[in-house]
Amino acid sequence: MSKPNLHSINPIKFLKMDGIRKQKIESAEAKPLPPLSSYKPNQLAAALHPKRQFLKIAEIVKHSDDVKTFVFVPDEAKGTTALAYFAAGQYLSISVQVGQATITRPYSLSSSPKESLEGKYTLTIKRVNGGLATNYILDSWAVGTEVVASAPLGDFTYEPLRDAKKIIGLAGGSGITPFFSLAKAIADGDEDAELTLLYGSRTKADVLFLKEFTAIEKKCDKFRLINVLSNEEAEGCEHGFITAELIKKYAPE
């Protein structure tokens, strides 16, 4: 390594630097700094982590009387021009106005991260008996309904530095949504992992996203779905409940 050549520094110019700096400061035009929001790093941070997002329902898919998938797009009239990106497994905190009360509820995103770049979020919501929010949502939300949401939140995500590459997922009912997002992210090449998903349902008719999961299995060898049915026997499905023995059967060596 070469040593600094102190002889190359002009001592007279060096000693004058302080005076030159003061002169520059005193002669500079006095004007306010631009707002912090104008700086590119702050603009990027605001896009990735907005305080809130204004959304609008573009489509509703009815799976049953008690389960619906809502497709959201940005509500540009309210100021949201693009959706915040997210990691598979994250959720949105949704504000719901029920009568005079404003309540918030977290719902996992069932869309893939790639879809957010295309301007679309999806939430799949199941009715909860006596649930204030879910009953209002399933009975009242329609195409065109305006919704206020948080930025994507949560750490129920795949982290390659922390997690094994081969994942065993356990889910039941509408708890499938974060795994549906992860399966799509793996198929899209956004996550480098392998997922074997044990999904508990009462009957095969109760399995959410069966056609979609089947399509993902056909195109992606890194995903496998094991349906576990408690109330009926069906070809290609396990019967009973998800147990330690069943997990061992499908867990990687």
pTM (two decimals)? 0.82
Domain count, the chain: 2
Is there a single domain that holds both residue 68 and residue 129? yes
Confidence of residue 9 (pLDDT cuts 50, 70, 90): confident
What mean pLDDT do residues 163-170 have?
A: 95
Q: Which domain holds residue 188?
A: 166-250
Residue 179 sits in a domain of what CATH number?
3.40.50.80
Q: At what angle do helices 177-188 and 210-219 cross, to 10 degrees?
A: 30
What mean pLDDT do residues 200-215 have?
A: 95
Percent of the chain with pLDDT strictly greater than 70 = 96
Residue 148's CB is within 10 A of a number of other CB atoms, namely 19
Model confidence at 12: pLDDT above 60 = yes
Please check whether residue 121 is in contact with residue 92, taking contact to mean a CB–CB distance below 8 angstroms: yes
Q: Give a yes or no: residue 200 inside a domain.
A: yes
Residue 68 sits in a domain of what CATH number?
2.40.30.10
Is there a single domain that holds both residue 130 and residue 206? no
Confidence of residue 5 (pLDDT cuts 50, 70, 90): low
Model confidence at 93: pLDDT above 90 = yes
Among 29-33, 72-76, 135-139, where is mean pLDDT lowest?
29-33
Confidence of residue 7 (pLDDT cuts 50, 70, 90): low
